[in-house]
Structure 1
């Protein structure tokens, strides 16, 4: 079970969903699985749908960092069958190569998928709240602009399903980190009855894309809440839950 965000002659991108009829409810993450073989079976099903081998997947060991990695052909298969060879301490991947499936694993965190039709660039970002306050998405786009001479006006972004503002309830310490960004105030409110702050992580990430120079009209957000939707994996709801896999591939 999956949700498709883009499917045209150049790009295929989407997000796998929870499905109780599949092994481990279609969990895609090896680092939180009960049986490794179940996850590999789920990934294999996705690979077949994408018309690639599971060895074309590239996965990172996500640590809520602001680190990113330029994926090339030599990285194909990293983290696909075993976490041991996943790209270490990395939360964003990008490539210009066709037939490589970039993967981002989430369960409430914000997945960001992007592409540039003119250059063939594609990317996948994992931005939990810690990654957002570290500005991983903004820093990646700044890198692409400065080091890769990427015209950010040509980038299209899909922000995937994540924890909604209603359910993203935090204490003052997290609120303060977002406040220090200087541009997230419009995406936060205080609930006096609970003494909690509520933050819209998706809109904060969208703002980071806009600050980088990506036109607002080229940013799409899936407002599905992973906590409230039965097809969502939510760490906040269940610490033992599986993970969605947000994927993007450029066709040859």
Structure 2
């Protein structure tokens, strides 16, 4: 099973599953985009075993390209792990203080954001496709973490996972205008005269959002793997029937 590990400490593991032709449905992790749900559960169980935990400790959301987030508590354990119906509804970001819970986010071109706070042990995941980015899900969540959870942004470390590259993320003027209206994304866009398309770097836009939220730039890491160009990537732009990566983070209890 192909998995990128972004964080691999004794008490914290974070990473992202990748496309793998040797696994069921190419290592697809998404119940909402699959041929057979049993295959997905088998893939997830393999991932759980590699993390030395049970699939019952996974928590998944029904992602809708919203700016909604959810604080995961012990009552949420197992939601969405084996059934779509039990997933946390209409939510695109999860965070928790609880140990031994695997927070999950699903992407195929969208930007996955994985983060942890080294002082408070808070961990989280964000699904930021272009719609989530222009709705500012990341800034809204970190403002909440500052105001409600009393977190210091300087204590966060953030990993931006593999996503669609700027070269392959071409859009028409309507999407360009939405990014333009953010007032801080101009440097991450260019116009291609030959195709009359705009190209946007969604990863760098999200990084900018994190920096504006007060997180030090040196504590933000970007995986520049393009999900369209890399053979290990699932790309919705390339194939509307594709599977999904699972980005995850778990903090093990001491």
Q: How does 1:213-228 map to 2 (within 5 A)?
A: 213-228=214-229
| Distance apart, 1:10 and its partner CA | 2.5
SS in 1 for 2:176: helix
| Distance apart, 1:129 and its partner CA | 0.2
Q: Which residue of 1 aligns with 2:204?
A: 203
Q: Stretches of 4+ moved more than 4 A in 1?
A: none
| Distance apart, 1:117 and its partner CA | 1.6
Q: Which residue of 2 aligns with 1:25?
A: 26
Q: How does 1:1-252 map to 2 (within 5 A)?
A: 1-252=2-253
Q: Could you list the per-position Cα deviations for residues 89-142 of structure 1 after superposition, in whole angstroms to 9, with x for gaps in the alignment?
A: 000000000000000000000000000121110000000000000000010000
Count how many residue pairs are aligned between Structure 1 and Structure 2. 252
| Distance apart, 1:60 and its partner CA | 0.1
Stretches of structure 2 that go unaligned for 5 or more consecutive residues are none
TM-score of the pair, normalised by structure 2: 0.99
**How many angstroms apart in 1 are the aligned matches of 2:119 and 2:185?**
31
TM-score of the pair, normalised by structure 1: 1.00
| Cα pair 1:10 1:117 within 8 Å, conserved | no
**How many angstroms apart in 2 are the aligned matches of 1:222 and 1:11?**
19
**How many angstroms apart in 1 are the aligned matches of 2:252 and 2:121?**
9
| Distance apart, 1:18 and its partner CA | 0.3
| Distance apart, 1:9 and its partner CA | 1.9
SS in 1 for 2:126: strand
**How many angstroms apart in 1 are the aligned matches of 2:49 and 2:90?**
28
**How many angstroms apart in 2 are the aligned matches of 1:14 and 1:236?**
23
| Distance apart, 1:223 and its partner CA | 0.3
**How many angstroms apart in 1 are the aligned matches of 2:119 and 2:219?**
14
| Distance apart, 1:11 and its partner CA | 1.2
SS in 1 for 2:32: helix
